[in-house]
Chain A
């Protein structure tokens, strides 16, 4: 489902050209729960940006659901992100002015889903994360764990091929982290493909399969 081949990505820092990804290749199958682990500066954020179609590789190929992402335009990428990927970020990244349900509704609006269907799907997604009662609350009125659950609902609502979580527990206390991780397991058991990016070994270990990344190289793929 996700096939990266010899992907390279460079950044220009001053005069120096930094190689953030160095011929990285990996393969993730449908319905897998994979963690990508690496220390900060290892290139895992870059990898996540590329997998998440937020950025384009300088070299190599990337196929998502068979689509040749490396040749896509900015608007094509927006469409792919909208339809195929659900993001969960470390700092939740909810829009502060919008209520929980409006945040969840947003990707469906961009998709052009009619209003009645939107409302139904938003309700279903919020129910799944157990926040239906808080639908009208603004993010600032919710706890960190609740905000992250809203973010998960937003990721789920489009029924994406891939849920991409970037340090989803990084800003949460251990109890809440546990809850969130349980939610990911549940989502996995329901057939979702999940890629979890983290620097935390304990978190990474929870995934059936971990991919290690160091100095821009995918060094270890274990099952």
Chain B
């Protein structure tokens, strides 16, 4: 084994140009695989990081089957008062409504919720205030709108105290939230008009919303983690819904993030597949050269057989050569991928993206190269091994 390895190295280094050219196919293949997958990976992780930084302080709860014990605002209030680690809860329901102000009108998304929503969703006030508990208790017709909405409907951002109508009902604007660049809603629905009203108030506005709350956010208490809150709410709901975990869903990840992940995994498979094809092409190149090498070295094979090499020894020698070429190419390819990723990271450093070698894909590349080396080396090696010693000895005089 060790001897075959040494012989392979010697044989490869005795014809450097050819070996390098042969390796080139593998090098390019490995580079394509590692760089592409790592790029997708880096881009994804930086985007997911941003999403996570927005939504990581909350879990979303959806109730699909309340088993005759609906969750209401009072239930939530009860929980916040009594259950440990569970004091930040905001129900939410949404509908669309036609909004009208002194400057214009348009369709906007109306969220019905409670004050904790502000912290959970990490909203930023431009002016005024957010919803208060008294607004919820009194079913007040107050709303907090975003900057887009203020500019579209009223004409200016400084509109606290003005009124707008939602589906004909007059609402007083008590606050304006910024179109926060870092907010999820801003990223994925920039330009949309949004209004936040007390949950109780949305009940009157929308037929779709009932007192039975089906979705709410849970945030982490100060000095405790979101995981603890998640555990607390899961326990509470399990108890309430007779240990039926099908009745509700607690998800700490946003659906958006799931979708992102799905898209990128498809992208990774797609790009990885293309790169894999180029690796296979590289492998065929190796087979080609190995076949030439075997023919060229027919005489050597004859001598080796004459002095006692058996089939297995010859097979191993040539197979080892193919595998060593492959693995060298792989190593060079990985190194160059690393260099390229470093350069890319430097170039796009302003975007805050970081690209590094993805260990998983490196491993895949190594395994794949090995398999290719064995697969495409096997045929030429077997051809060499099958040669008859006398034929090989007398080859070419």
- Using a CB–CB cutoff of 8 Å, the interface residues on chain A facing chain B are 49, 52, 54-55, 74-75, 78-79, 81-83, 87, 89, 93-97, 106-107, 109-111, 154, 158
Shortest C-beta distance, B9 to chain A (Å), equals 11
User: CA of A94 to CA of B299 in the docked complex: distance in angstroms?
Assistant: 10
B345 at the A/B interface (Cβ < 8 Å)? no
Categorize the interface residue count of chain B.
20 to 34
Give the chain A neighbours of B305 by CB distance below 8 A.
78, 81
CB pair B393–A93 under 8 Å, yes or no, is yes
CB pair A95–B308 under 8 Å, yes or no, is no
Interface residues in B104-137 by Cβ distance below 8 A to A read none
CB pair A78–B300 under 8 Å, yes or no, is no
Given contacts A78-B305, A95-B300, A97-B14, contact A54 B390 (CB under 8 A): yes
CB pair B11–A154 under 8 Å, yes or no, is no
Shortest C-beta distance, B305 to chain A (Å), equals 7
Checking B10, B300, B308, B311 against A107 with a beta-carbon cut-off of 8 angstroms, the contacting residue is B308
Shortest C-beta distance, A68 to chain B (Å), equals 19
CB pair B308–A83 under 8 Å, yes or no, is yes
CB pair B14–A87 under 8 Å, yes or no, is no
User: CA of A18 to CA of B347 in the docked complex: distance in angstroms?
Assistant: 75
Is the contact region of chain B dominated by helix, strand, or loop, or is it mixed? Answer: helix
Checking B10, B11, B299, B310 against A78 with a beta-carbon cut-off of 8 angstroms, the contacting residue is B310
Give the chain B neighbours of A94 by CB distance below 8 A.
303
Give the chain A neighbours of B299 by CB distance below 8 A.
93
Shortest C-beta distance, A118 to chain B (Å), equals 11
Give the chain B neighbours of A106 by CB distance below 8 A.
304, 307
Given contacts A93-B303, A93-B393, contact A75 B308 (CB under 8 A): no
Give the chain B neighbours of A78 by CB distance below 8 A.
305, 308-311
B269 at the A/B interface (Cβ < 8 Å)? no
- The residue on A at minimum CB distance from B306 is A87
User: CA of A81 to CA of B390 in the docked complex: distance in angstroms?
Assistant: 13
- The residue on B at minimum CB distance from A55 is B390
- Using a CB–CB cutoff of 8 Å, the interface residues on chain B facing chain A are 3, 10-11, 14, 299-300, 302-313, 388-390, 393
Checking A87, A110, A158 against B309 with a beta-carbon cut-off of 8 angstroms, the contacting residue is A110
CB pair B393–A81 under 8 Å, yes or no, is no
Most buried by A among B11, B304, B312: B304
CB pair A74–B310 under 8 Å, yes or no, is yes
Give the chain A neighbours of B312 by CB distance below 8 A.
75
CB pair A74–B311 under 8 Å, yes or no, is yes
Given contacts A97-B11, A110-B313, contact A54 B303 (CB under 8 A): no
User: CA of A109 to CA of B303 in the docked complex: distance in angstroms?
Assistant: 14
User: CA of A109 to CA of B305 in the docked complex: distance in angstroms?
Assistant: 13
Give the chain A neighbours of B3 by CB distance below 8 A.
109
User: CA of A110 to CA of B7 in the docked complex: distance in angstroms?
Assistant: 13
12 contacts between A and B (CB under 8 A): A52-B306, A54-B389, A75-B312, A78-B305, A79-B308, A81-B307, A82-B309, A93-B303, A95-B300, A97-B11, A106-B304, A106-B307
Shortest C-beta distance, B381 to chain A (Å), equals 16
Shortest C-beta distance, B203 to chain A (Å), equals 88
Most buried by B among A78, A82, A109: A78
Checking B303, B311, B389 against A95 with a beta-carbon cut-off of 8 angstroms, the contacting residue is B303
User: CA of A78 to CA of B302 in the docked complex: distance in angstroms?
Assistant: 11
Shortest C-beta distance, A122 to chain B (Å), equals 14
Given contacts A54-B393, A95-B303, contact A111 B308 (CB under 8 A): yes
CB pair B310–A75 under 8 Å, yes or no, is yes
CB pair B307–A107 under 8 Å, yes or no, is yes
CB pair B308–A110 under 8 Å, yes or no, is yes
User: CA of A74 to CA of B389 in the docked complex: distance in angstroms?
Assistant: 10
Give the chain B neighbours of A107 by CB distance below 8 A.
307-308
- The residue on A at minimum CB distance from B308 is A82
Shortest C-beta distance, A67 to chain B (Å), equals 15
User: CA of A54 to CA of B305 in the docked complex: distance in angstroms?
Assistant: 9
Shortest C-beta distance, B320 to chain A (Å), equals 14
User: CA of A83 to CA of B310 in the docked complex: distance in angstroms?
Assistant: 12
User: CA of A75 to CA of B305 in the docked complex: distance in angstroms?
Assistant: 10
- The residue on A at minimum CB distance from B313 is A110
CB pair A82–B307 under 8 Å, yes or no, is yes
Give the chain B neighbours of A74 by CB distance below 8 A.
310-311
Give the chain B neighbours of A79 by CB distance below 8 A.
308, 310
Give the chain A neighbours of B10 by CB distance below 8 A.
97
- The residue on A at minimum CB distance from B389 is A54
Give the chain A neighbours of B308 by CB distance below 8 A.
78-79, 81-83, 107, 110-111, 158
CB pair A81–B306 under 8 Å, yes or no, is yes
Given contacts A52-B306, A83-B308, A96-B300, 11 further A-B contacts (CB under 8 A): A54-B393, A55-B389, A74-B311, A81-B308, A82-B307, A82-B308, A87-B307, A94-B303, A95-B300, A97-B10, A97-B14
CB pair A95–B304 under 8 Å, yes or no, is yes
Give the chain B neighbours of A95 by CB distance below 8 A.
300, 303-304
Give the chain A neighbours of B313 by CB distance below 8 A.
110
Give the chain B neighbours of A75 by CB distance below 8 A.
310-312
User: CA of A83 to CA of B308 in the docked complex: distance in angstroms?
Assistant: 8
Shortest C-beta distance, A97 to chain B (Å), equals 6
Shortest C-beta distance, A46 to chain B (Å), equals 9
User: CA of A13 to CA of B311 in the docked complex: distance in angstroms?
Assistant: 28
User: CA of A107 to CA of B300 in the docked complex: distance in angstroms?
Assistant: 13
User: CA of A81 to CA of B389 in the docked complex: distance in angstroms?
Assistant: 11
- The residue on A at minimum CB distance from B13 is A97
Shortest C-beta distance, A81 to chain B (Å), equals 5
